Structure 1
Amino acid sequence: MANTSPLQPGDEIELEITNIAHGGVSVARHDGRVVFVADAIPGERVRARVTEARKKSFARAVTLEVLEASPDRRPHVWPEAALERDPEERAGGAEFGHIALERQRALKAQVLAESLQRFAGVERDVTVEAAPGDDEANGLGWRSRVRLHVDPETGAVGPYAARSRTIVPVESLPLAVEGVNMIAPLDEPMHHLVSIDLIAPSADDPRMLITAEEDVARAGENDAVRELVGDREFLVRAGGFWQVHREAPEVLFTAVRDAIIALDEAGRVDAGAANLDLFGGAGLLAAAMAEAVGPALKVTTVEADPGATDDAAENLSELVGALAVTARVDRYLADLLAAPAAVRDRFRRSTVVLDPPRSGAGGAVSQQLGELAPANIVYVACDPVALARDTATLLGLGYELGPVRAFDLFPHTHHLEALAVFTRV
C-alpha cells in the first residue's frame, strides 16, 4: 500500500510532472497522492513547495526549481510572474507564460478533449486555433481590458498575485495592448481607490474606470465606447462585457456566422422562426446570425444587464426582425415553456446561439433548451468543463454534437474559447 502520510504546507518535495489538469495546473503524485502543481509543465521534474494539504485525496504545490526542464519551457513572458520570484510575489494572470505557445495550445486542446470524454462520453480531437497576429507577437499585446487593484495601505497599484489577493507591483503589462499600457498608473500611488479598470476600445480612446473606497459603481462605467468588428461598429458601455482579446470579437463573430451558414446550407435554418441569442450582451453574435442568413432574420437577444440590452437594441437597430430583451435567461425560457403550445412550436424551427458566463449555461438552462427543442444550438463557451457538462445534458435530450472548434483567445493563460454546434436528432 502507498504511504499517504500527510503532507504539510511548507514541505518541499521533488515531483515528476505527468499531466495537465483543468485550471492551468500540472499533475504529479507523491506517495500515491495526487499533487496539483503550479508553474510546471508535463514531462518535467521539479522541486515544489506544498501550499495546501487539507484533502486526503490531493494536495497543491507551487514550483520552486526546475530540476529537469521540458523542451517547451521558455523564459516567462512577464518577469514579475517568473519562477525566480518568491511564489507569493508572482503576478497572476499569465500562468502559462513559461510555456511555448504551440505547447500551450496542445495542453488546452487536451483539457477540452478530456473534458468532453469524461463528462459527456464524446471522443473528439480538437485543434486550438491561434488568433490573428498572436504568433507573430509571441502571444503578447492582446488584452484590451485589464483590472488593477490598489493596496489600501501604500496606494501601490498592480494585479493580484497568482494564488492570493496580495497586490503585486509590476513595471509592465506585457499581455495588454499598447493603449492600456499607455495609461496604466503602475508607478503612481493611487490612495483612497479600490481598483482601476483600464479599457482600450478598438475604435475609441483608452480610459480608466476608477472605483473609490466609498463607491459602489466605477466612475465612467456607463460611458459609451465604440468597438470595431470588421467594418461593423458596435456601441458598448465602457464597464460592460466585451471580449478582452483585441481579435476575439471578430474571431467569434466569424465562427458563429460560419457555423450558421453551414447549418443553413444543410437546410436547417429558418430565418423567420423564433431564433434566439441568449446571454446576448451587446448583440455581437445576433449580428453574426444576421450576416449568416440575411436581413430577414428574426431574432430575440436576451441579456440580464439592462445597459447591455440597451446597447444591443442600438447595435441591431437596422435589423427589422431583432428584439432586445432584458431578462435572466432561465426566467425567459421558463416563460416560453409556460406559453401555449402554438407559441412553443415556433421554436422547434429555430436556431439558438448562446454565450454563457464561465460557469456555463448550467443544467437548468440546458434542460429548458431541451424542452424548447430548437432545431439547432450554437454554443460559445469559455470553460471546457462547463461546456462538457452541458454537452452531456443536451445529448441526453435528443441532440447530436456536430463540429467543435477552439480558439486561443487568452494566450499565456489556461483559458480558451470553444464553439460547439448541436442539432436536434
Structure 2
Amino acid sequence: MAQTRRPRRGSRAGTRSGTPRPAPKPPAADGPLVTLDIERVAHGGVFVAHHEGRVVFVADAIPGERVVARVVDQSKDRFWRAETVEVLEASPDRRPHIWAEASVERPPERRAGGAEFGHIHTARQRTLKAEVLVDALARFGGVERDVVVEPVEAALAPGVDLDAGTGWRTRVRLHVGADGSVGPYAARSHTVIPVASVPLAVRALAELAPLADRFAGARAIDLVAPSVGDAALVVVDDDRMPRGPRPTIVERVGDRDFTLDRDGFWQVHRGAAATLTAAVHDLVDGDRFDPRAANHDLYGGVGLLAAAVGDRFGDTVRITSVEADARATEHAGANLADWVGARAVTGRVDRYLDELATSAGPADLARLADATVVLDPPRSGAGRAVVDRLAEVRPRQLVYVACDPVALARDVGLLRAHGYELEALRAFDLFPNTHHVEAVVRLRAIV
C-alpha cells in the first residue's frame, strides 16, 4: 500500500473533466408523496411517470412498477423530480440492492450515490441501457437501429462478478465530511454517507478502503488499483499542484504496457481498456484503412486507442495522438514508441483541427481524406465545432468511442448532416449497476 498526501487532478484535461459545477442541493425531505406507475427509462438513471398530466422523473424504480415517491424538486414547470420511498407493485427484475446503503429502504437523502441501477437484475440493466441508446439515436441522430449492450468478457476482467455487476472499479473516490468521516456522496447531493463496504470496487480497493477511519482536514480519499503493481491510497488535501515528480503507474492491456500518471485518466472498469481496444481494432474497416494516410487518435490520452490501431496494422502505421493534457501526451509519446510513424501532440482538439484545416496543403488534404480518425471525447461529446472541422478535412472513416448516449447521438446527427453514414455500432456494459453505457460506432464518408 502506498499512502501520500497530495491532490488529485481531474481525469484528463479537455476530456473527462470540466469546469466544476456548483454543489447540488440535497433532496427535499418534505415534498408531497405521490403514487406513480413507472412507464419507461430515461437518460440519466431515472424513470418516467406521469402525475396529473405532468412528467415526473423518478429515481430507484423500474418500468412496470407502481411506487410511492416523494417529490423532491418542483422548480420546473414541465416536470418534477421524485425519489421512490415505497414499492407497491414490484417488477420481477427488482432485486435486493447490491449496496445496502443505497437501498430504497433508506431515506432518499441518506442513500449512497453511484449505484443507481443496483436494485435491478444485471440483464435488465443492459436492456434499459440499450433502450436509452436506441431512443437517443432516433431522437437526436435520426438513426433507427437495434442495440444490444454486451457484457465485458470474463477473460478480460479477472476477479469481476459479471452476474452481480460488482468488483470492477479500479478507481474509487471517497469524500470526507466535516467531521472527518469518509464515504460516497448521497445521490444527487454533496452529503457524505458513511458506508460499510464499496461493492463496486475491485477486491484490493475494497480491502484498502479506510471506511472506519477519520481524516480531519482532508478533502477526499482516492483509491487506485493499477493492473500492474500495488494498490494505493491517496489523501487529497487541497487543489494545489504538488511539487516534484508525480507518481506513475503501469496498466497492462494484453501484452502491452501503458505508463501514465497515477492521477491521470484511465478506464475505470478492470476490463474496459481491453474491451475498447478490441472494439476499435474490430470496427476499423481494413479495406478503407491506409497506413500512410494522416490517421489520428483525437482525445488520445496516453495512447490506448492509437495503439489498438497500430497493433492491428503494423509498426509502419502513421498516426497522430492529440491530447490536451501535456503529461498524458508525454506518456503517449513513450507508449507509442513502437510505431515509427506515431507521434503525440499536446493541444485542444478543436484548436488542433482549426490549424490543420487552415494550414494543410493539397498533399496534406489528400492524406487527410484517406485517413481513419479515432476519437474518444469527454462525456459532453465532440460537439459542433469539432464535427464541422472533421467534416471539412473529411477523413474516410471515423471510429467514435462515447460514454454518453445523448452526446453521441447529437454528434451522429451532425455528422450525418455533413454526409457521413453510421455503419456499425457496439455497446458495452462498462459501468454495471450505474446508468452509464459505452458505445463504439463507425461512420464513413459518403462519396
- TM-score by length of structure 1 reads 0.95
* Distance in 1 separating the partners of 2:439 and 2:134: 11
The DSSP-based 3-state class of the residue aligned with 1:277 is strand
| Alpha-carbon distance, 1:240 to partner | 0.4
Amino acid at match of 1:289: V
Aligned to 1:302, which of 309, 312, 322?
322
Aligned to 1:107, which of 128, 131, 136?
128
- Which residue of 1 is the match for residue 307 of structure 2? 287
* Distance in 1 separating the partners of 2:381 and 2:245: 25
* Distance in 2 separating the partners of 1:222 and 1:240: 10
What per-residue deviation string (whole Å, max 9, x for no partner) do you get for residues 342-400 of structure 1? 22232000000000010001111111111110000000000000000000000010111
Q: 1:337 to 1:417 in 2, by over 3 A?
A: same
Structure 1 stretches of 4+ moved >4 Å: 134-137, 218-221
The DSSP-based 3-state class of the residue aligned with 1:366 is helix
The DSSP-based 3-state class of the residue aligned with 1:77 is coil
Q: Is the 8 A contact 1:375 1:423 kept in 2?
A: yes
Aligned to 1:229, which of 253, 268, 284?
253
Aligned to 1:175, which of 200, 210, 228?
200
| Alpha-carbon distance, 1:221 to partner | 9.2
Q: Aligned ranges for residues 254-333 of structure 1 at < 5 Å? A: 254-260=278-284, 263-264=285-286, 267-333=287-353
What per-residue deviation string (whole Å, max 9, x for no partner) do you get for residues 133-181 of structure 1? 35645111000001111012x1000110011000001110000001111
Q: In structure 2, list runs of 5 or more residues that go unmatched.
A: 1-27, 155-159
The DSSP-based 3-state class of the residue aligned with 2:343 is strand
Amino acid at match of 1:125: D
The DSSP-based 3-state class of the residue aligned with 1:338 is helix
- Which residue of 2 is the match for residue 140 of structure 1? 166
The one of the two structures with greater contact order (alpha-carbon pairs below 8 A, sep at least 6) is 2
Q: Aligned ranges for residues 335-414 of structure 1 at < 5 Å? A: 335-342=355-362, 343-414=364-435
Q: Which moved more, 1:400-409 or 1:339-348?
A: 339-348
Amino acid at match of 1:318: D
| Alpha-carbon distance, 1:231 to partner | 1.4
Amino acid at match of 2:299: F
The DSSP-based 3-state class of the residue aligned with 2:337 is coil
Amino acid at match of 1:185: P
- Which residue of 2 is the match for residue 75 of structure 1? 96
Aligned to 2:182, which of 147, 157, 168?
157
Q: Is the 8 A contact 1:209 1:219 kept in 2?
A: no
Q: Aligned ranges for residues 29-44 of structure 1 at < 5 Å? A: 29-44=50-65
Aligned to 1:247, which of 271, 289, 298?
271
Amino acid at match of 1:341: G
* Distance in 2 separating the partners of 1:47 and 1:404: 38
The DSSP-based 3-state class of the residue aligned with 2:219 is strand
| Alpha-carbon distance, 1:106 to partner | 0.1
Q: 1:143 to 1:64 in 2, by over 3 A?
A: same
* Distance in 1 separating the partners of 2:255 and 2:203: 22
- Which residue of 2 is the match for residue 95 of structure 1? 116
What per-residue deviation string (whole Å, max 9, x for no partner) do you get for residues 233-284 of structure 1? 1111100000000000000001001112xx11xx211001000000000100
Answer yes or no: is 1:18 the counterpart of 2:39: yes
- TM-score by length of structure 2 reads 0.90
* Distance in 2 separating the partners of 1:379 and 1:20: 25
Q: Is the 8 A contact 2:38 2:63 kept in 1?
A: yes
* Distance in 1 separating the partners of 2:243 and 2:218: 11
Amino acid at match of 2:433: H
Q: Is the 8 A contact 1:72 1:99 kept in 2?
A: yes
Amino acid at match of 2:290: D
- Which residue of 2 is the match for residue 126 of structure 1? 147
* Distance in 2 separating the partners of 1:276 and 1:188: 46
| Alpha-carbon distance, 1:54 to partner | 1.1
The DSSP-based 3-state class of the residue aligned with 1:193 is coil
Q: Is the 8 A contact 2:35 2:68 kept in 1?
A: yes
Q: Is the 8 A contact 1:209 1:221 kept in 2?
A: no
* Distance in 2 separating the partners of 1:351 and 1:372: 11
Q: 1:77 to 1:108 in 2, by over 3 A?
A: same
Answer yes or no: is 1:188 the counterpart of 2:213: yes
Answer yes or no: is 1:60 the counterpart of 2:81: yes
Aligned CA RMSD, in angstroms, stands at 1.5
* Distance in 2 separating the partners of 1:314 and 1:173: 35
Amino acid at match of 1:331: R
Q: Is the 8 A contact 2:122 2:163 kept in 1?
A: no
Answer yes or no: is 1:199 the counterpart of 2:219: no
| Alpha-carbon distance, 1:340 to partner | 3.6
Percent identity (aligned): 55
* Distance in 1 separating the partners of 2:149 and 2:394: 30
| Alpha-carbon distance, 1:210 to partner | 2.2
Aligned length: 413
The DSSP-based 3-state class of the residue aligned with 1:419 is strand
| Alpha-carbon distance, 1:196 to partner | 1.3
Q: In structure 1, list runs of 5 or more residues that go unmatched.
A: 1-6
